[in-house]
């Protein structure tokens, strides 16, 4: 197992998660490799060779966030890693949590985001045509669109989900989002038992805030998937909670939705739940089901009890105190 603690709050939540996973009794051998802004600056590689070597060997990674400089500097390490390993599906389950106070306490939210992870406006193809005029290329291909749609529908069929909603802006980007939508429709025909719907992304955002309980599986191109993920996290208590998986043909890298949170890094108050729940997804992927269930149940017990939660959830516990509580709850 490759462990990439990342930077910012990454090392704090990664250390907490490793402790919690080890406490379940899962037989995980961690191979820790540095992946951070500092190592990218030092090696001048978009993803250091050592990271790729380790992931080629283990096929499975648990990753903390990595800071990306804004408006300049090196390319996003996260985007580079997803492209290099062809981690085409970004899967993010967003669920209501027992004991967490949100504006949506009366409804049960249980949706899963399937975000295309390799193209769209994340192609990084930008060009200054003349001074003060810039273009940024949005790349949508049939191959990638069919692949993510199939992944989402197959998941729906094999996990007893009822509905897939494709989210787009094909009224404006008629060619690009039009292609994404045509691919989704085509795949939907092979899954007649799954209800298929389409929503324009602005309307989808409003519906998510008004009626989040009506959503099941969301199928989105890269950029909308990124934005809607944070919106959805906000519905259930914030970024401290929501896990994710980057899935490819041969590799899988599990990471939280959140970033490196520079505003709280080093203070010992980051919420490790999102990475711990990413580790639960990883344990399921590795067929370590008993450990996965044990960790998930322990996390939920700590929230139901409500006494040892971190400041983002309205509590006063530190990362370490929360982790101790999770381990004690096992």
Contact footprint for ligand NAI (CB under 6 A): 9, 13, 65-68, 78, 239-240, 255, 258-264, 270-271, 274, 312
With 0-12 CB in 10 A as exposed, 13-18 as middle and 19+ as buried, what is 60?
Answer: middle
- Which of 56, 190, 202, 305 is the catalytic position? 202
Answer yes or no: 303 catalytic.
no
Instruction: Please give the DSSP secondary-structure letter assigned to residue 311.
Output: G
Count the neighbouring beta carbons within 10 Å of the beta carbon of residue 211: 11
* Min CB(271)–ligand NAI separation in Å: 3
Nearest CB to ligand NAI, comparing residues 11 and 259 = 259
Q: Which residues, at least 6 apart from 133, have a Cβ–Cβ distance to it below 8 Å?
A: none
- Which of 63, 83, 138, 169 is the catalytic position? 169
Q: Distance between CA 232 and CA 110 in Å, rounded?
A: 10
* Min CB(78)–ligand NAI separation in Å: 4
Which runs of consecutive H residues, i.e. helices, occur in 68-219? 77-84, 142-158, 176-188, 201-210
Count the neighbouring beta carbons within 10 Å of the beta carbon of residue 255: 27
Q: Distance between CA 91 and CA 224 in Å, rounded?
A: 14
Answer yes or no: 287 catalytic.
no
Residue the block writes with tokens 């998986």 = 245
Nearest CB to ligand NAI, comparing residues 221 and 244 = 244
* Min CB(65)–ligand NAI separation in Å: 3
Coil, strand or helix at 138: coil
Q: Distance between CA 226 and CA 230 in Å, rounded?
A: 7
Tell me, rounded to whole angstroms, the distance of Cα 99 from its chain centroid: 23
- Which of 226, 294, 303, 312 is the catalytic position? 226
Taking a C-beta distance cutoff of 8 angstroms, is the pair 93, 318 a contact?
Answer: no
- The phi and psi torsions of 272 (rounded to 5 degrees) equal -85, 5
- Which of 122, 196, 224, 303 is the catalytic position? 122
* Min CB(67)–ligand NAI separation in Å: 4
* Min CB(141)–ligand NAI separation in Å: 23
Nearest CB to ligand NAI, comparing residues 270 and 292 = 270
Answer yes or no: 86 catalytic.
no
Nearest CB to ligand NAI, comparing residues 184 and 243 = 243
Answer yes or no: 305 catalytic.
no
Count helices and strands in the chain by DSSP H and E runs: 11, 12
In the bound complex, which residue of the shown chain has the CB atom lying closest to ligand NAI? Answer: 259
Report which of 275, 241, 161 is spatially closest to residue 283, judged by C-alpha positions.
Answer: 275
* Min CB(302)–ligand NAI separation in Å: 15
Answer yes or no: 202 catalytic.
yes
Q: Which residues are catalytic?
A: 122, 169, 202, 226, 230
């Amino acid at each position: 197992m490759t462990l990439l603690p990342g930077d910012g709050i990454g090392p704090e939540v990664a250390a907490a998660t490793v402790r919690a996973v080890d406490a379940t009794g899962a037989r995980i051998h961690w191979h820790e490799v540095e992946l951070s802004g500092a190592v990218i600056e030092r090696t001048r590689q978009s993803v250091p060779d050592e990271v790729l070597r380790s992931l080629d060997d283990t096929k499975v990674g648990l990753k903390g966030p990595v800071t990306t400089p804004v408006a300049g500097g090196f390319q996003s390490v996260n985007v580079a890693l997803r492209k290099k390993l062809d981690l085409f599906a970004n899967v993010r389950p967003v669920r209501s949590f027992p004991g967490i106070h949100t504006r949506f306490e009366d409804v049960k939210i249980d949706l899963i985001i399937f975000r295309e992870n390799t193209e769209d406006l994340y192609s990084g193809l930008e060009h200054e045509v003349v001074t003060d005029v810039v273009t940024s290329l949005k790349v949508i291909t049939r191959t990638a669109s069919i692949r993510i749609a199939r992944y989402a529908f197959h998941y729906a069929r094999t996990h007893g989900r009822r509905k897939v909603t494709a989210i787009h802006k094909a009224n404006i980007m008629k060619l690009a989002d039009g292609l994404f939508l045509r691919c989704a429709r085509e795949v939907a025909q092979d899954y007649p038992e799954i209800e298929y719907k389409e929503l324009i992304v602005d309307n989808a955002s409003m519906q998510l805030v008004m009626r989040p309980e009506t959503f099941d599986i969301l199928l989105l191109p890269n950029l909308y998937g990124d934005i809607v993920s944070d919106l959805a996290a906000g519905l259930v208590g914030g970024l401290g909670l929501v896990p994710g998986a980057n899935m490819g043909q041969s590799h899988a890298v599990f990471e939280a939705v959140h970033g490196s949170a520079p505003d709280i890094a080093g203070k010992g108050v980051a919420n490790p739940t999102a990475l711990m729940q990413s580790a639960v997804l990883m344990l399921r992927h590795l067929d370590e089901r008993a450990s996965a269930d044990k960790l998930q149940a322990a996390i939920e017990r700590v929230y139901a009890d409500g006494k040892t939660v971190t400041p983002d959830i309205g509590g006063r516990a530190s990362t370490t105190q929360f982790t101790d509580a999770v381990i004690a709850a096992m």
